[in-house]
């Protein structure tokens, strides 16, 4: 059974850093396209960052480029979202997701992700 469990959310001041974790099970983490999404109250879910398969390229939304990275530890079957220079507009519920069938070396579309975690809340406020 494929499972994804996020952790690491919390309250952080503007300019601060936070690292989210997504522990996976039931699949080989570097064999699926994986991604982080976020959804703020009253807004649509948006993609934040992803790793494509099979070329292992990282992609970032313009809003987070240069501030966020998406490390992955294959041995621990865990991916991360390292968030630096956080802004109030980064406040959202963050989700990790996995796509088992999108293996064409480009970012998977949102509807390709069939496995989702439960989310972890990130609040950026002074």
- Residues in Cβ contact with 30 at an 8 Å cutoff, skipping those fewer than 6 apart: 53, 56, 72, 74
pLDDT digits (tens, 9 = 90+) for 2-61: 999 999 999 999 999 999 999 999 999 889 999 999 999 999 999 999 999 988 999 999
83-106 pLDDT per residue, tens: 999 999 999 999 999 999 988 888
CA distance 89 to 95: 16
DSSP state of 104: S
DSSP 85: S
Query: What is d(CA 94, CA 20) in angstroms, rounded to the nearest whole number?
Result: 9
- Encoding tokens for residue 66? 């240069």
Helix/strand/coil for 112: helix
């Amino acid at each position: 059974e494929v499972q994804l469990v996020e952790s690491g959310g919390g309250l952080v001041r503007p300019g601060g850093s936070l690292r989210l974790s997504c522990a996976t099970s039931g699949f080989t983490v570097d064999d699926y396209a994986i991604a982080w999404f976020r959804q703020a109250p009253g807004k649509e879910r948006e993609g934040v960052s992803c790793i494509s398969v099979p070329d292992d390229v990282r992609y970032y939304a313009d809003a987070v480029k240069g501030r966020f990275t998406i490390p992955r530890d294959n041995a621990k079957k865990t991916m991360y979202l390292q968030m630096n220079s956080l802004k109030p507009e980064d406040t959202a519920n963050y989700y990790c997701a996995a796509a088992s069938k999108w293996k064409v070396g480009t970012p998977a579309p949102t509807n390709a992700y069939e496995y989702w975690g439960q989310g972890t809340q990130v609040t950026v406020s002074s």
